[in-house]
Structure 1
Amino acid sequence: MAKLLLIALAVLVALALLLRWRRPVWYWLSFGIVLAVVRVRFRYAAVMEACHLTVPASRMRRALARWMKKPVPQQRVPRLLWIRPTRTGLRLRIRMWPGQDAFEFAAASDRLRHSFGVHQVTSREIKPGVIEIALTGYDVLKRVQMPATTERDLLKIPLALVEDGSVHYRDYRQVPHSITVGAIGTGKSVTQRTLIKELASQPVALVGIDCKKGVELGPLARRFSALVDNPDDAADLLEALIARMEVIYDVIRRAQRISADTPDAEIAANIWDLPEDLRPVPIVVTIDEIAELALSTKKNDPRRDRIVKALVRLAQLGRAAGIFLDIYGQRFGSELGDGITMLRAQLTGRMVHRVNDESTAKMAFGDISPHAVFAAIQIPNERRGMAVVGYSTGEWVRIRTPHTTMRQAVAACNKYAHLVPDIPELARFGPLLDLAPVRAPAVAEAA
């Protein structure tokens, strides 16, 4: 009997090790959660004390101990309100003692990670005096698997998986404009294709500027209302978008009809306050490489000035008119010329893939968090699609986008090609879908 128990135990241990190696999600759901809960329950008080997250006993208790000549009371441990298992880890809700703050727990995240034996620890303040610590049981960014069900809404799409197992959403109504920076081969194109693939099924207009001869956005052309592949056409397209924006503002102004008996909720200030029959279609503008638009060999280039001026105006005024910007580039610094710093200040969303130098990360996160800058330059080369996202509040997270192939993005754009809206201002910039047969270059023929 004992021999059979030993064999069963050995098989169970071998199965656990195999799952941990090949299927970390299954291992966590079957073995990891139980072990982690037991570990947290038994080690909690000792870990809090070892990580210097306790506070001295109250003055009254210490005074009573002195008067009664008893031992000094022990340090008070923050109260553990509850433990909640998740698909990727545990969440601990903790009530802090007076005198503690959330920064102490954030600063101790590495010590907590080692003490509890988990892959990652992050913390955030829920309300005054209460924080939530997220323990991630395994490396969820090693093999990205998005949850089967995610929240979706107009202009709100699931984009990537966060290091704590939650889903990172791109919400254009909350963050209207964004910049994505990264070196060559870091996954910017994957992020771009994922966004376009998810937006293809929504009632929005897609506009693309791809000055690499359209090699990135060209295959997705059937879903685009406008697509240009050179700076000259880009300048005209951006000015056409400004003309469209001014027309939309006229519609909003006419629909306001402010009078003394008009309820506050019916006063329109953007397209979302308009009735559905008057609401214009939202427009998402994707710019594949900002340097191709902002760089110029001339000292005073009128075309460049037109482009930058138009981009700044769209970034400042486009949100209320339903025009949103997604800008991609390898760098986004002042070396691109006048107006770039002003444009960057209007781009609320900041995403940085692996970069080759610290200054590039500082361009995006220098005004957000120095820790985000350090995290961006530490992304491994083999983690394509991994990035750091920074928020204006100073918070930042690591994310990784699931791999979206060009074929998947093309299939989605072709499937929803019938959703391309009719926008008169952009009609002349419509993509050319009937392409001529491809011939090999003359150099290849000569060879």
Structure 2
Amino acid sequence: MSNTTFVVLALVAVAAALVLRRLRPAWYWLSIGVTLAMVRVVVRYASVMDACGLTVPPSRLRLTLARLARRPAPDPRAPRILRMRPTRTGLVLRLKLQPGQDAFDFAASTDRLRHSFSMHGVASREIKSGVVELRMTGYDVLRRVQMPVSVETTGLRVPVALREDGEVHFRDYREVPHALNLGATLSGKSVYQRNLVKELAPRHVALVGIDCKEGVELAPLARRFSALADNPDDAAELLEALVGRMADIYQVIRREQRISSDTPDAEITADIWGLPEEVRPVPVVLFVDEVAELALFSTTAEKKRRERIVTALVRLVQLGRAAGIYVEICGQRFGAELGDGITMLRAQLTGRVSHRVNDEASAKMAFGDISPDAVLATTQIPVERPGLAVAGDSSGGWVRIRTPFTTLRQAVNTCAAHAHRAPALDGLERFRPALSAPAPAEIPAPGSAPVTA
């Protein structure tokens, strides 16, 4: 092979790699990028740790031995690499810290590590005392969201989005029972809610919805819903019926406890999940779309209705977890301007998800009492990336996520396929959606002309 042919083939290979990196970054990473990244990390590791200030001086013993042996002083010590594992989106680097190092130093240096190792993103978390894990992403995984083919899920833990570190973001209702989902128009808030319904449809759970936009968001999915209200009057009665169901479930728990000295510890419970399966009530997930429509009023009668609604919602989020009732509240704004009780309601919503908002005050409604950094990250979400959001909880931790685009047709098909799983709830029968069977297609007579619209 001549030198000219070799150069041409090399240029073609480089051009193909660049095109693949541009159009299919995931394929590029799995085929070429992961090998190059591992080589970069191994070659640059010691110098990068030293440049980022993540090394410690040599011990006094080593300095003394070097002085006695008339040798140069030893170099600073970097953290020891325990394991380097490639993933489908990046690398996972597990490090053993040197004495005197702090995990916070690595969290504060993630941006410098990202530049030094030529990675798209770096996230740091402490595994245990003295061990830190660096999760590096090789490309922008949120630009084109691709969920893993197989995701391990159990119970009410459903995958809803992809995190910026390449991991799957789960919505675990037993761990975080109630959540708030904020977002401006066309921010992806409705797609996030639609994806939740789609993932919950195949599971043993009752879905209840309140959609005061005449049901345009949740009515197409009504075949999987056990109860649905599309106006504030029905919503008030539905919420009060749920409060009554919650009280009945607590009576069941009290009846089944029967605590005595010979009762095993594992059989003592204060929620539905410790009850025997034959008496355990079905869990309920309540979706509230555009919560502001429930809090606004202009007349005295509407004010009294609002007080009933807010009181019932506060009771559900305060007491509903043990009864297996979980609340998902969606809206564009959710602050004190909606009236009394709203701040108390927000304080009970542990999970927080905020899509793009129109002002900083809206971001503070979601994360102002949790993390100022999350507020800043929310205000920086671009318009051209619908579905991108910041997810956090009351512990102060937060992460950027993006929901895969789920069409309404996909959600409708999933709900229709699992319509038989929608249980009838005692006390909520009158709110069950009345759905007529689809009309049969009209078959034209032989030889007749087809009917055109």
TM-score, normalisation: structure 1:
0.94
Q: CA deviation at 1:73?
A: 3.2
Amino acid across the alignment from 1:424: D
Structure 1 residue aligned with 2:385: 383
Q: CA deviation at 1:414?
A: 1.2
Structure 2 residue aligned with 1:422: 424
| Bigger mean CA deviation after superposition, 358-367 or 123-132 | 358-367
Structure 1 residue aligned with 2:198: 197
Structure 2 residue aligned with 1:440: none
Task: Give CA deviations for 1:31-82 in whole Å, capped at 9, x if unaligned.
Answer: 0001000000000011111111111222333455567765443221111112
Q: CA deviation at 1:149?
A: 0.4
| Distance (Å, rounded) in 2 between the aligned partners of 1:209 and 1:302 | 19
Structure 2 residue aligned with 1:158: 159
Q: How many residues are paired up?
A: 437
Structure 2 residue aligned with 1:443: none
SS at match of 1:425: coil
Amino acid across the alignment from 1:26: W
Structure 2 residue aligned with 1:358: 360
| Distance (Å, rounded) in 2 between the aligned partners of 1:359 and 1:279 | 42
Structure 1 residue aligned with 2:185: 184
SS at match of 1:367: coil
Write the mapping of 1:389-408 to structure 2, written as runs, cut at 5 A.
Answer: 389-408=391-410
Q: 1:339 and 2:335 equivalent?
A: no
| Distance (Å, rounded) in 2 between the aligned partners of 1:70 and 1:360 | 62
Q: CA deviation at 1:417?
A: 1.1
Structure 2 residue aligned with 1:88: 89
Q: CA deviation at 1:373?
A: 1.1
Q: CA deviation at 1:125?
A: 0.4
Structure 1 residue aligned with 2:229: 228
Amino acid across the alignment from 1:358: E
Amino acid across the alignment from 2:205: V
Task: Give CA deviations for 1:125-154 in whole Å, capped at 9, x if unaligned.
Answer: 000110000110000000011000001222
5+ unaligned residues in a row in structure 2: which ranges? 440-453
Q: CA deviation at 1:222?
A: 1.2
| Distance (Å, rounded) in 2 between the aligned partners of 1:206 and 1:383 | 29
| Distance (Å, rounded) in 2 between the aligned partners of 1:270 and 1:436 | 41
Structure 1 residue aligned with 2:449: none
Q: CA deviation at 1:229?
A: 1.1
SS at match of 2:428: helix
Task: Give CA deviations for 1:263-306 in whole Å, capped at 9, x if unaligned.
Answer: 01011211111111101111110000111112223589221111
Amino acid across the alignment from 1:232: D
Structure 1 residue aligned with 2:443: none
SS at match of 2:21: helix
Write the mapping of 1:36-115 to structure 2, written as runs, cut at 5 A.
Answer: 36-63=37-64, 71-115=72-116
Structure 1 residue aligned with 2:172: 171
| Distance (Å, rounded) in 1 between the aligned partners of 2:366 and 2:102 | 28
Structure 2 residue aligned with 1:290: 291
**CA spacing shift, 1:213–1:50, aligned 2, 3 Å:** same
Q: CA deviation at 1:204?
A: 1.0
Q: Percent same amino acid among aligned pairs?
A: 65
| Distance (Å, rounded) in 2 between the aligned partners of 1:93 and 1:125 | 10
Q: CA deviation at 1:382?
A: 0.8
SS at match of 2:352: strand
| Bigger mean CA deviation after superposition, 262-271 or 10-19 | 10-19
Structure 1 residue aligned with 2:12: 11
From 297, 309, 312, give the equivalent of 2:311. 309
Amino acid across the alignment from 2:338: L
5+ unaligned residues in a row in structure 1: which ranges? 438-447
| Distance (Å, rounded) in 1 between the aligned partners of 2:134 and 2:148 | 21
Q: CA deviation at 1:112?
A: 0.7
| Distance (Å, rounded) in 2 between the aligned partners of 1:370 and 1:337 | 24
| Distance (Å, rounded) in 2 between the aligned partners of 1:72 and 1:335 | 65
Q: 1:28 and 2:20 equivalent?
A: no
| Distance (Å, rounded) in 2 between the aligned partners of 1:335 and 1:169 | 31
Q: CA deviation at 1:421?
A: 0.5
Amino acid across the alignment from 2:406: T
SS at match of 1:375: helix
SS at match of 2:234: helix
Task: Give CA deviations for 1:87-112 in whole Å, capped at 9, x if unaligned.
Answer: 00000001111222111111111111
Task: Give CA deviations for 1:318-361 in whole Å, capped at 9, x if unaligned.
Answer: 01111000000111111111111111111111001011112211
Amino acid across the alignment from 1:329: G
SS at match of 1:161: strand
Q: 1:371 and 2:373 equivalent?
A: yes
